């Protein structure tokens, strides 16, 4: 069908939906002068729905009219809400992580900037507050005196008026620009709103609404930073030097070496040159921990961006960055990479090794560390990767010179690394020295000594719940989840069996579902059973448990940690949540109840992660007054990884693991893409997975392996299969994407593929 007019204009609109294309809409004559590039518009989508989209191009190309071309309904903004550089970054995310641009848009925009309903109501409204000023006829001190004379008999009104003058600092002829918050005035004066209404009715005070920020700009005394130690200053100078030749530098140092102070100096240096800074942390808990320290240095120039702030606050920070290129620092989690920076000069990725930087579901499944490095490159900014246990990828690139490398050792003089003992629990149980106990004699003794000295203890067990599973002693049957292919975990507090994948839960069964026998037996142990054992062994100790069951909210997490930091609790039992770089000064004993499970996970990163986690937790027992203790309970006492942990031998671990990775062609020597296929029909899933592998091997050769059964083969009623693709580093993911799209199109011609849910995971963690 030919175009209706050669003068017709069209808009390419990006919608926050998981579809590959942008959508073309006709610009109606009433909007003929539209210059709304990167502005939001409301568009019809489907038969009944309306969406907010972003115009990313205005053109006069007539689209192929296989169907009706719809018109824009309304333009929302009078200025762009994203930048051209942002859009370019979004396109890179979409290309590299094999997802649609719409999925990136949906993840990037705060919810209040999106409309996904028929209501056509924007979610964001500016916050307003009532302020009071003097009426126009009150201009001089004489006018103020006359006003006081008028109201002197109304004592409460006079009190309120005097409070207004005091708070507003009105002591001269400059009266008209002085305003006072209504809320503050009523709180300060101690009178109620009816008294205020009396002053307004007498024409003395006038109320007006002002837009105020939701961002927390509480008054903070900005202090000068402490001088760096000799080691810190040397590291700072070395980082600056590496930035002359490298865009990315790895800062490698132990937990207590003062890396934060170095980062603060780098931020100050960048801001002094007019640059903006992004400071990334892997989890919200760590942002809360460091916020107060940064506030004291940067005051109102510090913005916090994480899930703890409201969506309205997110939009205000978004707009602040969009409208300004002034120097400031954003402290946030992985979603902070999507903010509209205008003058980004430095990106800091703290705890760069953390797996929490990887987004899992939904798409885009990006790695915030890697994406942040690309963001910095697009802005011609520098990136600092900070950690005490680098990822093997970062370590290798630093050793090869692709990244700069700075090692800092700033431990306090006289501080001692803990003594680490590896205890063979198999041998102790054989000798009946751990009969009916989870604690080895050595660990129990060291906990007793710590408690008697008023010191604290951390006990690590990377499994929550009371018992990982229960079993029938007669037939061996184990209750399983009806939705997932996993056993149910017993939680004593609720006396229920629960699935940790989908949340399915049942009361603890009185009898075996298979044979009808009673007396189901608990097998294994989790943090909940350790808590019970600690209470029995150390009844006078105050104990806290830190896992997802006790810390489902940020406030609960910090209440538990704050009590431990303030020594209100003496023993902290936890999962990986206790490994997040916390500042705990009074810990003298750390116990690992059974580390074997972490080392034996069927994953090529298992040893790397186990080493990182153990070293992080062992770091809590570093003390300046005397040597702390770490007790590692294991059935694999000869495992070389444990002896590397014992020596804090990161280099040894890295060399060993990199040798294996190179031999078997795993990252960082190749790039991985995992295809995850899910279906409720297991037979169809297996058929489609086998066919998929055949087609991929034709295109990609021996780099394709699978399909494989994951450790959990069914999750939330869907069976799961995985296909692994290893890509040489010399090949671009974008080239592989074309092949994957071709194969997917071929697969879509098979009717059985309609029952398959497919997604890609690039650089899986």
Residue holding tokens 């680098």? Answer: 390
Residue 566, C-beta contacts closer than 8 angstroms, at least 6 positions apart:
none
pTM of the model: 0.83
Q: Are 71 and 29 in contact (CB under 8 A)?
A: no
Q: For residue 268, which of 236, 292, 245, 242 has the smallest C-alpha distance?
A: 236
Rounded to the nearest 10 degrees, the angle between the axes of helix 650-664 and helix 392-399 is 90
Residue 328 CB neighbours (<10 A): 21
Q: Confidence band (pLDDT; 50, 70, 90) for 214?
A: low
pLDDT of 208 > 50? The answer is yes
User: What pLDDT is recorded for position 757?
Assistant: 93
Report the phi/psi class of residue 333: left, alpha or beta, with left for phi > 0 and alpha for psi in -120 to 50.
beta
Cβ-contact 661, 392 below 8 angstroms: yes
Q: Which residues, listed in sequence order, are joined to residue 367 by a DSSP beta bridge?
A: 358
Question: What are 699-756's pLDDT values in tens digits?
Answer: 888 889 889 898 888 889 899 999 999 998 887 777 888 899 999 999 999 998 999 9
Other C-beta atoms lying within 10 Å of the C-beta of residue 376: 24
- What percent of the chain shows pLDDT beyond 70? 92
Written as one string, the DSSP assignment of 356-411 is GGB--SSS---BHHHHHHHHHHHTT-EEEEEESS--HHHHHHHHTTSSEEEEE--P
Q: What is the pLDDT of residues 45-68, one digit of tens each?
A: 877 778 888 999 888 887 776 677
Residue 281 has pLDDT above 70, yes or no: yes
Q: If you count them, how many residues does the chain have? A: 765
Question: What is the Cα gyration radius of the chain?
Answer: 31
Tell me, what's the pLDDT at 224?
65
pLDDT band for position 495 (cuts 50, 70, 90): confident
- Range with lowest mean pLDDT among 136-145, 214-223, 262-271, 386-395: 214-223
Q: How many CB atoms lie within 10 A of CB 587?
A: 22
Cβ atoms within 10 A of the Cβ of 236, count? 20
Where does residue 686 rank: exposed (0-12), middle (13-18), buried (19+ CB within 10 A)?
Answer: middle
Decide: 280 and 348 in contact? Cβ < 8 Å.
yes
At 321 the pLDDT is 92
Position 207 scores a pLDDT of 85
Q: Is the pLDDT of residue 2 over 60?
A: no
Q: What residues contact residue 485 under an 8 Å CB cut-off, 6+ apart?
A: 712, 713, 714, 715
Q: Is 116 helix (H, G, I), strand (E, B) or coil?
A: strand
Helices (H), 438-492: 441-452
Q: Nearest 5°: phi and psi at 371?
A: -65, -35
Query: In the chain, what are the helix, strand and coil shares in percent, each to the nearest 5?
Result: 35, 25, 40
- The per-residue pLDDT for range 320-347, each reduced to its tens digit, is 899 888 999 999 999 999 999 999 999 9
Residues contacting residue 664 through CB under 8 Å, at least 6 positions apart: 604
Contact 268, 225 (CB under 8 A): yes
Contact 189, 157 (CB under 8 A): no
Query: Which of 382, 305, 389, 406 lies closest to 351, judged by CA?
Result: 389
In the chain the domains, ranked by start, together with CATH numbers, are 10-113 (3.40.1440.60), 127-212 (no CATH), 230-408 (3.40.50.300), 419-464+526-660 (3.40.50.300), 467-524 (no CATH), 670-762 (3.30.70.600)
Among 18-32, 159-173, 547-561, 695-709, the range scoring the smallest mean pLDDT is 159-173
Q: Which two tokens stand for residue 544?
A: 């806290």
pLDDT digits (tens, 9 = 90+) for 556-595: 877 888 888 888 999 999 888 787 656 677 889 999 988 8
The average pLDDT across 673-680 equals: 94
Task: Look at residue 118 and tell me whether its pLDDT is greater than 60.
Answer: no
Instruction: Work out the angle between the directed axes of helices 182-189 and 193-201 (0-180°, nearest 10).
Output: 120
Average pLDDT for residues 121-143, to the nearest whole number? 73
Question: Under a CB-based contact definition with an 8 Å cutoff, are residues 393 and 357 in contact?
Answer: no
Residue 60 in tokens: 């006069």
What's the number of CA atoms in the CB half-sphere (13 Å) around residue 453?
Answer: 16
Burial class (CB in 10 A: 0-12, 13-18, 19+), 140: exposed
Specify whether the CB–CB gap between 530 and 438 falls below 8 A: yes
pLDDT band for 479, please (50, 70, 90 cuts). Answer: confident
Residue 703 CA, distance from chain mean position: 32
Residue 359 backbone phi and psi in degrees, to 5: -75, 130
End-to-end CA distance of the chain: 50
Residue 529, SS3?
helix
**Beta carbons within 8 Å of 115's beta carbon, 6+ residues apart:** 42, 50, 51, 52, 121, 122, 123
The confidence band for 215, taking pLDDT boundaries of 50, 70 and 90, is low
Q: Pull the structure tokens for residue 515.
A: 């044979």
Location of structure tokens 């949540």: 577
What separation in angstroms does the CA of 744 have from each of 141, 473, 675, 759? 80, 49, 11, 11
The total of other beta-carbon atoms located within 10 Å of residue 242's CB is 21
Q: Which residues, at least 6 apart from 141, have a Cβ–Cβ distance to it below 8 Å? A: 172, 173
């Amino acid at each position: 069908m030919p175009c209706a007019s050669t003068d017709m204009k069209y808009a390419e609109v990006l919608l926050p939906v998981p579809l590959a294309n942008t959508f073309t809409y006709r610009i109606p004559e009433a909007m003929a002068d539209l210059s709304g590039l990167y502005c939001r518009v409301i568009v019809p989508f489907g038969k009944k729905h309306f969406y907010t989209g972003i115009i990313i191009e205005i053109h006069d190309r007539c689209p192929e009219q296989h169907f009706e071309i719809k018109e824009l309904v309304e333009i929302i903004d009078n200025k762009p809400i994203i930048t051209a550089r942002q859009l370019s970054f979004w396109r890179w995310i979409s290309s590299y992580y094999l997802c649609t641009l719409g999925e990136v848009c949906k993840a990037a925009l705060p919810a209040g900037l999106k409309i996904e309903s028929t209501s056509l109501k924007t979610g964001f409204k500016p916050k307003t507050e009532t302020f009071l000023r003097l009426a126009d006829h009150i201009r001089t001190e004489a006018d103020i005196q006359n006003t006081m004379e008028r109201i002197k008999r109304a004592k409460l009104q006079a009190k309120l008026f005097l409070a207004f003058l005091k708070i507003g600092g009105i002591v001269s002829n400059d009266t008209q620009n002085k305003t006072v918050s209504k809320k503050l005035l009523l709180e300060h004066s101690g009178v109620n709103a009816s008294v205020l209404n009396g002053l307004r009715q007498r024409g003395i005070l006038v109320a007006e609404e002002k837009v105020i920020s939701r961002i927390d700009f509480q008054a903070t005394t900005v202090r000068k930073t402490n001088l760096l130690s000799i080691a810190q200053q040397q590291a700072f100078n070395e980082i600056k030097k590496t930035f002359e030749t490298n865009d990315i530098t790895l800062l490698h140092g132990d937990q207590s070496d003062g890396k934060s102070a170095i980062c603060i100096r780098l931020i100050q240096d960048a801001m002094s040159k007019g640059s903006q800074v992004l400071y990334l942390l892997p989890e919200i808990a760590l942002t809360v921990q460091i916020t107060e320290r940064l506030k004291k240095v940067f005051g109102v120039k510090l913005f916090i961006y994480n899930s703890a702030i409201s969506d309205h606050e997110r939009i205000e920070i978004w707009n602040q960055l969009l409208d300004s290129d002034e120097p400031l620092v954003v402290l946030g989690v992985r979603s902070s990479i999507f903010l509209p920076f205008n003058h980004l000069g430095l990106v800091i990725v703290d705890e760069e090794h953390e797996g929490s930087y990887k987004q899992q579901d939904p798409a885009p499944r990006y790695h915030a560390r890697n994406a942040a490095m690309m963001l910095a490159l697009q802005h011609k900014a520098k990136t600092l990767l900070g950690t005490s246990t680098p990822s093997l990828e970062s370590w290798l690139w630093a050793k090869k010179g692709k990244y700069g490398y700075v090692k800092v050792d700033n431990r306090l003089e006289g501080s001692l690394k803990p003594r680490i003992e590896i205890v063979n629990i198999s041998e102790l149980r054989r000798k009946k020295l751990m009969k009916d106990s989870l604690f080895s004699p050595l660990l129990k003794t060291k906990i007793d000594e710590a408690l008697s000295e008023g010191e604290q203890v951390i006990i690590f067990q990377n499994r929550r719940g009371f018992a990982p599973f229960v079993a029938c002693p007669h037939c061996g049957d184990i209750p399983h989840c009806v939705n997932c292919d996993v056993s149910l975990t017993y939680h004593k507090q609720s006396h229920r069996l629960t699935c940790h994948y989908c949340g399915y839960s049942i009361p603890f069964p009185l009898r075996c579902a298979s044979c009808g026998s009673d007396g189901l037996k608990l097998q294994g142990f989790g943090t909940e059973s350790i808590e019970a054992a600690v209470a029995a062994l150390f009844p006078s100790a105050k104990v806290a448990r830190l896992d997802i069951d006790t810390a489902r909210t940020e406030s609960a997490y910090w209440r538990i940690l704050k009590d431990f930091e303030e020594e209100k609790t003496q023993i902290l039992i936890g999962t990986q949540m206790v490994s997040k770089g916390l500042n705990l000064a009074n810990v003298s004993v750390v116990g690992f109840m059974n580390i074997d499970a972490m080392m034996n996970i069927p994953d090529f990163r298992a040893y790397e992660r186990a080493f990182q986690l153990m070293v992080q937790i062992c770091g809590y027992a570093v003390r300046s007054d005397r040597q702390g203790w770490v007790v590692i309970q294991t059935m694999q006492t000869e495992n070389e990884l444990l002896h590397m942990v014992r020596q804090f031998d990161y280099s040894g671990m890295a060399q060993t693991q990199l040798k294996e990775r190179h031999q078997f062609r795993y990252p960082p020597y190749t790039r991985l893409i995992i295809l995850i296929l899910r279906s409720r029909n297991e037979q169809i899933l297996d058929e489609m997975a086998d066919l998929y592998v055949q087609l991929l091997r034709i295109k990609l050769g021996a780099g394709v392996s699978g399909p494989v059964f994951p450790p959990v083969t069914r999750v939330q009623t869907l069976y799961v299969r995985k296909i692994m693709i290893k890509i040489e580093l010399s090949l671009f993911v974008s080239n592989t994407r074309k092949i994957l799209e071709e194969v997917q199109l071929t697969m879509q011609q098979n009717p059985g593929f309609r029952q398959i849910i497919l997604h890609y995971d690039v650089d899986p963690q």
